[in-house]
Structure 1
Amino acid sequence: MRLIGTVTPDLPLLVVAVEEESAHLGGRFPVLLTGMGKINATAALATVLARGDRPSEIVNLGTAGALRSGWAGTHQVSRVLQHDLDSRVLNLLTGRTFGGPIELGPEQGPVLATGDLFVSDPEARDRLAQSADLVDMEGYALAIVAQRAGVPIRLVKHVSDEAGEGAARTWRESVDGCAKILADWVHTRL
């Protein structure tokens, strides 16, 4: 975890997983680098918010894999779910729902599936495509922390690859270009 800048109530906090995704953001807004995965994202954002640092909103910027052919560009997510927590079984065991989907706003946008698995297997991709459009490793964790803290959050994802075979290679090749596009989104929308 690394916080660059100072969190203040008049500015959004930009949250990214890794330095490569923040390479072109500049210094206008504070940036939190969380590390990859749900646990790193949860721990980093919860730590910052627990110190009393309250931004005007949280904007999670990052890359995402497309779960179906034809998805490209930058998208603001409207719904996020966990794909590696079996909520159905947990509900059967306890009678309570854990890790259900989170609605992020009334705007029509893609559904994001979050899990601690870098999806590079075509079978996993096809299974996830039944309930989501994009896949990442941090979005759900950040959304639940923000929701519990009462801080508005937006998840903004740029498609870096089609999740499946070759996704890791494609991500490495495209992450800098994705970071430039995400920085442009920040400079024109915030």
Structure 2
Amino acid sequence: MSLQVLPLAITMMAGPQIMSAIILVTTPRPVRTSLAFLAGVAISATVGVSVARGIFALVGSNVSIGQASDDSSVGKIVQYVLIALLLLAILRNYVKRATIEPPKWLGSLMNAGPGRAFKTGLLLIILMPSDIIVMLTVGANLEQHHEGVAAAAVFIGATLLVAALPLLGLLLFHKRAERAMPRARTWMTNNSWMVNILCCLIFIAIIH
């Protein structure tokens, strides 16, 4: 697998995903709840990449992605379409920044237990459009390099590392983290439009 796709692990957890991880470390049982969330993310990411790899294995011989230097290749056209959609999303988030609010289900995570956290981690990755695009990108990369899903272990591990940052911060800095995490949660909640724009910019920078 090309190392070029590794930064996509950041995009996998950008937005509501990392906000969920931050909220879960402020619950009554932060360690158990966060570990359950990470388990859900690990399973979801692994299954998602496996399915994406299977899709491109089936169509790979019939669809030519083309050379990276060819501006008229299917791969380049897909990149241009994605960038255009992301730019539109940035414009929409900026224009509606005064009214954009985070999903209501994020607030319900404040009292979540391990079961709810596991389900959240599982569904967030599979159902999030940006994550689906990332996993399809990884699947295409594996097909191009004639590698199996095992080669994506580093990417999945990087995704888990990003997802685990709030928990690692809690374990390493305990008291400071207990004070900082609620403030970070509040800031991200009040500035969700800015978080969305940053996610789009990161993804544009990666796929350009």
Bigger fraction of residues in helix: 2
Bigger relative contact order, structure 1 or 2 (CA pairs below 8 A, ≥6 apart): 2
Greater Rg by CA? 2
Taking structure 2 as the reference length, what is the TM-score of the superposition? 0.25
